[in-house]
Structure 1
């Protein structure tokens, strides 16, 4: 098993690219079945796959924090490209849902207009109401997605701000420790000087005592002799 700092990032990126390839085939294939129900199923599958791809991008953002600074720049570029692809296909999905909703609404409207009854049959009205509800549901889901994206961006900014604050606190603590080390070194030097001075004073005192003892001894010997 590869245990390099970039292995997990590479793995998530490969999974993301596989999702993107599958999504691209479904969204950019204009030659598929035009039936409304089939197209709706395709769009629903694309939405689920985009959620999975979004999760891969989130994991890549987490893993990039552990990549060494020397190679992190190129991985940031790959992450930006992944986010750009994700945004592009989310936009295509939104357009596909809008087109599908308009198509359903137009087909319901045509059926409503050509009905033999003045205001259309109950089935036509029900179909129109259902299409309108689908359109509103799609709009609401898109709004929810945008809100979640904004909340995620805000949380990410808060996390980055907290990390920056913690880094400043660590740097300040490091500076304080360096200052304390310097003060300790100066205090240690002062103590050493004081100890040397004390030893010198002891030697001088001992020498004076010895001289005095000798003088006293000489004086007593002279008196006795």
Structure 2
């Protein structure tokens, strides 16, 4: 497992690029199809993927805080590029929505017999049923997106709780280490004082020993003098 400080950032960036590649394929493919339902389904999927890409960018912004300052500017530039790419496809999706909405509106106005009040069908014409089904699909899609957003929010909250818990543990460890260092410093001061006392006593003992030796030598000389000259 890669434990480098840029591993998660690179992973989120890779996911972002894969999502953008999928969006590009849908915009150039299904979103340009001739069938209106196919286009709407493709654009709904594009919106969901753009939301996922937005979440990846947010995660990249979080992870860049843990990257060393020496290499952080290059990663900040990559985030800026990702944001620009995301905004470009968001604008393109919005423009396609507006374009197809106008086309559907003009197409509906051009169809004869729309909204015939004398129809026996309780849901109206087939076009009305299609719109009802499309509205239901949009509501279901919106519900799924809300559930996904709620899930992401809960996951983010759990990650934040874990981070705070880790920070609290690290703070306690730092506090304990500081207390240990203070106790060690106190012990070193005491040991230093004890060594100084021992050194002073050693010098005192040397002086006393030297004095005793000198006295003994003097006594020996006196005794020798007394015996030799008397």
Please report the TM-score for the alignment, with normalisation by the length of structure 1.
0.60
1:23 and 2:23 correspond: yes
Match of 2:154 in 1: 151
- Contact 1:60–1:79 at 8 Å: present in 2 too? yes
- Contact 1:112–1:121 at 8 Å: present in 2 too? no
Match of 2:140 in 1: 137
Distance apart, 1:114 and its partner CA = 2.6
Superposed CA deviations along residues 111-141 of structure 1, whole A, max 9, x for unmatched, are 8833753453698586566444323312211
1:117 and 2:100 correspond: no
**More off after superposition, 26-35 vs 180-189:** 26-35
Distance apart, 1:39 and its partner CA = 1.7
- Contact 1:19–1:53 at 8 Å: present in 2 too? yes
- 3-state SS, counterpart of residue 165 of structure 1: helix
Distance apart, 1:48 and its partner CA = 7.1
- Contact 2:16–2:56 at 8 Å: present in 1 too? yes
Partners of 2:15 and 2:37 in 1: CA distance? 29
Note the 1:76-95 alignment, pairs <5 A: 76=76, 78-79=78-79, 82=82, 86=86
Partners of 1:191 and 1:213 in 2: CA distance? 33
Match of 1:33 in 2: 33
Please list every run of 5 or more consecutive structure 1 residues that lacks an aligned counterpart in the other structure.
none
Note the 1:1-225 alignment, pairs <5 A: 9=9, 13=13, 16-17=16-17, 19-20=19-20, 22-24=22-24, 26-27=26-27, 32-43=32-43, 46=46, 49-50=49-50, 53=53, 57=57, 60=60, 64=64, 67-76=67-76, 78-79=78-79, 82=82, 86=86, 113-114=115-116, 116-120=118-122, 130-173=133-176, 175-180=178-183, 182-214=185-217, 217=220
Please list every run of 5 or more consecutive structure 2 residues that lacks an aligned counterpart in the other structure.
none
Superposed CA deviations along residues 163-220 of structure 1, whole A, max 9, x for unmatched, are 5434544543454455345434433432331221121122123224324544665676
**Backbone CA RMSD of aligned residues:** 5.1
Distance apart, 1:9 and its partner CA = 4.4
Please report the TM-score for the alignment, with normalisation by the length of structure 2.
0.59
